[in-house]
Amino acid sequence: MNVLIVYDSLYGNTEKIAKAMANALTPSNEVKLIRAKDVRISDLETINLLIIGSPTQGGRPIPSIKEFLNKIPADGLKNIKVAAFDTRVKIFFAKIFGYAADRLAKELQNKGGNLITAPMGFIVKGKEGPLKEDELEKATDWAKKIIINK
């Protein structure tokens, strides 16, 4: 399976999660890991699965991720399996504003993607981290389950 993992990271936590996923899926799959600012729409032409991740800020993905999504044409993800994740701090107000992964999943579906698993959140201790214990293992397990459920 050809997998593209697109992410961005402010304090390195989302990047660590994305790298854990890429490592979990390699070498059984062809995996490309790219920061959102470096992705080209042509990178989508040969993939079977797109995984996208962002830190959560104000319940939303960060601007670089949104900019990447805005470049994808209306049906640009047709016949592509998609999954979304975020890094988040558990706070009371999040119940009101939500998290980035849910918004990402919806946007990926709006672009024609086939959502193959529920959006996933990975917990960060405080605004800058570090990641909560066992979150990298959780990311590894989640990525492997996505491939199994393909």
Average pLDDT per 10 consecutive residues for the chain, totaling 150 residues: 97 98 94 97 96 94 97 96 95 75 97 97 93 97 86
Domain count, the chain: 1
* This prediction's pTM: 0.95
The pLDDT of residue 150: 58
* Both structure tokens of 121: 């959140």
pLDDT at 148: 79
The angle subtended at Cα 111 by Cα 54 and Cα 105, nearest 5°, is: 40
Interior CA angle at 68 toward 64 and 73, to 5°? 155
CATH of the domain at 15: 3.40.50.360
Residues β-bridged to residue 83:
51
Which domain, by its residues, includes 113? 2-148
Q: What is the pLDDT of residue 90?
A: 81
